[in-house]
Structure formats: C-alpha cells, structure tokens
Amino acid sequence: MADFKRRTLTLSTGKQIKLFGNSLAIGKSLEIGEGGAPNIFSSFSGIDLGKSSLAVTNPYKLTVEEMHEIADFQIQLWIELKNRIREFGINSTKIFNIEKQNDGSTPAKKKAPDKSGTE
C-alpha cells in the first residue's frame, strides 16, 4: 500500500512521487493532482500562553454529517477512476469525465472566424 511521508508519496512498487504540498486531490473530471491549500478542514499550530498546541480550523462550520458527505463524494470519485481505468486502460482519454470540466467556470474557446469573410 502507498505511504506518504515528507511530501513524498511512495508506492508499493517503490516509485516515488515528490509533491510540493501535502495532499492529493481528484476532481469531477477524474484528473488527479496536488490538493493545494488545506483551507476547508485542517489543523494548525497555535501558541497559547507560551505553549505550542494544535487546533482544528473549520471555517465553514461543517457538521459530522457534512464531513461524511464530502468524504463519500471524494471516495466515489476515486472508485469511479479505478473502474474507468479497469474498463478503458491507463492510456485512454475515455477515463476522464471531460464534459464535466467545462461547468461554466471556465470559458469555452471561441470558434475561429471564417477567413472567407462569410460567417
């Protein structure tokens, strides 16, 4: 099983993936990459009267049920990725949910104007 230490993901094959951050993420498109900032639910070191302590940050005030829902959603995406790799192989673009990428947050490319002058 894979292990994650000192910003390095080590796979059971011995292959190592060095990361800039401390997490992996998967999106609706099933593409994976580094997770980025831990700004939804995380721990941080605080200083309380000269003592160093850890505290939980939960800026969205997520409930237990909401945290479970987020975890279930992420697990669902990882399982879907595994199933699509089984179905299509590791080198097929059919693995990815490409149509889910352009959800309105990314502008679509405009069609190039017709060079003949007629549109």
- The model scores a pTM over 0.85: no
What letter would DSSP give residue 74? H
Dihedral pair phi/psi, residue 43, rounded to 5°: -115, 155
Q: Which of 21, 3, 22 is nearest to 12 (CA)?
A: 3
User: pLDDT digits over 18-69, tens only?
Assistant: 999 888 999 999 999 998 888 899 998 876 666 678 899 999 999 999 999 9
- More confident position, 99 or 113: 99
Q: Which amino acid is at 52?
A: S
- The whole-angstrom separation of Cα 34 and Cα 87 is 25
Of 12, 19, 48, the closest CA to residue 33 belongs to 19
